Each structure stands twice: as C-alpha cells, then as structure tokens.
Amino acid sequence: LKYSLTYNETKKVTMSRAIKVDGKVRTDMCFPTGFQDVVTIDKTGEFFRMLFDVKGRFLIHRIKKEEASYKLCGVKSLSTAAKGIPVLITHDGRTIDTQILSSKFTTPSSWTSI
C-alpha cells in the first residue's frame, strides 16, 4: 500500500492501532491476512479486500465502506452439531448455525448474500 517505507515506520503504523483486519485491531506486523479478508485503515478511511489475481497471487482490491461491512465466506461443508442442529463450516473455519440463518433469510438461495 506504500504507506510506510521502512520497518520502523511500519511498526509505528501498526502499533498506533490504525489497522484493522476483519474489524479487529491488529498490532502485529506479521499478522497473516487471508483470502477475502477486509483490511481497514481508520485514519484514511480506506477499505481493502484481499483477493487472488489470475496467477494465484494476493491482490489488494480497494472497496467501499458498504462492501466492507460484510464478510464473504465460502461454505466448505454442512454438518450436524449437538442435538441435531445443522451448521455450515466456512473456508476460514467459522461455524454458522443454520437456525440463525433461517430466521434472517427465508430461502437458502438468499444465503449467498451473507
């Protein structure tokens, strides 16, 4: 992003709690960002999403504030939790209860908007 040129400048930016990854402040310079993570810089009001380019390398894509408010997740599997409750397992390890989803969305086809 070219906000800092040296190691010390980068350390000052991250330690000033100006960088958020998926809405959580990260002060570790070496914190790994993954596919479809949202990186926010509060002081400049900029939002970025980590994507892949055609060669499989990470690409930083600038997005709007409205788009940064939600997290894109790919569903890896559907399994059953305790008491037979079906849950979705996403690509980043999150577990989403489908009963909560069914109260927010009426049809499974609208789950893609999560």
| Three state DSSP letters for the chain | CCCCCCHHHHHHHHHCCCEEECCEECCCCCCCCCCCCEEEECCCCEEEEEEECCCCCEEEEEECHHHHCCCCCCEEEEEECHHHCEEEEECCCCEEEHHHHHHHCCCHHHHHHC
| Sheet arrangement for strand 95-97 | 75-80, 86-90, 95-97
Q: In terms of pTM, does the model score above 0.75?
A: no
The reported pLDDT for the residue numbered 101 is 61
Average pLDDT across each block of 10 residues of the chain; the chain has 114 residues. List them in order.
Answer: 88 92 91 89 92 91 89 82 84 79 53 48
Contact of 98 with 110, CB cutoff 8 Å: no
Q: Apex CA 31: angle with CA 26 and CA 35, to 5°? A: 105
Q: What is the pLDDT of residue 104?
A: 57
